[in-house]
Chain A
Amino acid sequence: MSGTVPTYEEIFSRNLGIFTPEQQERIRGLRIAIAGCGGLGAPVAHLLARLGVGRLHLADPEVFEASNINRQWAAYVDTLGMNKAAAVAAELQRINPDMSVSVFSDGLSDENLAAFLDGADACIDALEFFELELELQLHEAARRQRQWVFVAQGFLELNSGFAIDPLGVQFLDRIGSVGGYTAILRAVQACFPVLPEGVTVSDIEESITKGVTSLPSWCVQPVLDAAMVVSDVVSFLVKDSRPLATFPRVRIQDTSTFAVSYREAPDPHD
């Protein structure tokens, strides 16, 4: 083990060629807010740290449980029982010594949404499906601050992702209402214009009615999704490229074949 901590330039020297030195400096100056540190949020934070991003805001009120180990980065036997955002922050310090991480271990609420988004270059929405009300509050707060939100969701073998332009079509526009059963169903349909193989709308209706909140999931899927989100958000912020899909356009990846396709979220007013 070496005695001295390596410099930022040493750690991230191999990024050069993928990014110019100026782009790497922009990456270093980025501040990204990640809502949710579970299946998707934790690997997103991990990859952003390995890219050299300077500041992260992490929010998650949950603690790591045994059943998280099969897929969530920073879920280890020795972090079980720890707050997810705090555990992720502790691992990130092992990657980039210059990184500053703000932890919101009480999760997000009306009171802290503004502080969570304050100064962020972009927000990554890695919340669970069933926190739709909170999700819409987050989107609204980001829209008011003219911030882009990058959303990603997994559903069995499918990954879905899109960026929400603060001046463009909002997630709420394709859901119609904030609360209730219909809103959740429309949110699922907006994220997944294509459903996983063998799943029908009535299956989803049944799951919502029964209150099923945990679906099967494994480690490969969030890693693929996180890699896409991170590549997308960083290219957008430092290379000024367009996001892969801007809502209502949705990127769908079938993780059993790795194929990616693009669809339009259905409009409930049609």
Chain B
Amino acid sequence: MSEAPAYEELFARNLGIFTPEQQERIRSLKVAIAGCGGLGAPCAVLLARMGVGELRLADPEVFEPSNVNRQWGAYLDTIGVNKAAATAAEVARITPYTRAVVFDEGVTVQNVARFLDGVDAVIDGTEFFAFAVQALLHTAARQRGLWVYSAQGAMEIHTLFAFDPAGGGRHQRLVRAQRSCAHPARDRGLLPGAPRGGDTRCARRPAAGAFALDRIVVAIPVAGRRARHLGPHRPPRARSVACCGLPRCHGLRCGRASVRTHAASPAAGRVGDPR
């Protein structure tokens, strides 16, 4: 077909699920998707079929044959093609009204501002073990007040979660939950190919949660510690802490102080407590 149908024609059937005003809002949405594999590519396709205005797609990898069994941008003819670029091509086939911006170098320190500035939400579809990228992405999103949506699957279990940029307390609770579970290494039975005997399906659910939370532990304290350093109430130096001696470290940067040491110090008690 030479000429593309009008936006209203393509997305007519959305009406009733969304009001015309909501559909207009969808049309103006910009979403950043980090990672165009198992989670990111279907998200991109579905957002395009919903009619969003702009997608920013980041992935440094190319499609491999073993991706075809689950990744929506992976076809025999896109093997060897950058995942973000192939996903953008898929989006272009769906609708000319979704602008797809490709970041084929992935999310990096250099491009994270360009990747996130002006978007309405972030989807973290990065690999499970890409902790450094996740820390960078989540911190930068938090600084911009953006929600980050993510999901993980381990065997038959899926977890879905959204990070509230203002949700410090919630994150701390999540961190505690992770600590109350066994370390993720215990749950290697969740990974394909490993023995799965003994554990029941129900017992794996919190374990899968622990898997997901492991990434939060990496990402959130970075933001949390920055906030504590940059915020108006700097924690005063705790006298008893054996620290690295760096200015304003208080044992937080070097990791020598435990949270308990700080809370126990009478000076630190005054920070959040006017009494």
Contact = CB atoms under 8 A, between A and B. Distances in A.
Interface string B70-89: 10000111111100000000
B68 A11 contact: yes
A215 B16 contact: yes
Interface string A1-42: 110011100111111111000000000000000000000000
Contact of A10 (B65, B75, B95): B65
A5 B76 contact: yes
Interface in A200-236: 214-220, 223
Contacts of A81: 1
Nearest to A11: B68
A1 B77 contact: yes
B75 A94 contact: yes
29 contacts: A1-B78, A2-B79, A2-B80, A5-B76, A6-B76, A11-B65, A11-B66, A11-B68, A11-B69, A17-B193, A17-B194, A18-B156, A50-B68, A66-B12, A69-B11, A69-B95, A70-B12, A70-B14, A70-B49, A77-B4, A95-B75, A95-B76, A157-B17, A216-B14, A216-B17, A217-B17, A218-B13, A218-B50, A219-B50
A71 interface: yes
B79 A6 contact: yes
B10 interface: yes
B98 to A, nearest CB: 11
Residue in A7, A14, A50, A214 with the greatest tally of chain B CB atoms within 10 Å: A14
A78 B93 contact: yes
B155 interface: yes
B1 A78 contact: yes
Interface of B: 1, 4-5, 9-18, 42, 46, 49-51, 65-70, 75-81, 93-96, 155-156, 191-194
Contacts of A70: 10-14, 49-51
B90 to A, nearest CB: 9
List the 6 closest pairs (A to B, CB-CB), nearest first.
Answer: A17-B192, A216-B16, A6-B65, A66-B5, A94-B75, A219-B49
A66 to B, nearest CB: 4
A238 interface: no
B192 A67 contact: no
A49 to B, nearest CB: 9
A124 interface: no
Given A6-B65, A11-B68, A71 B49 contact: yes
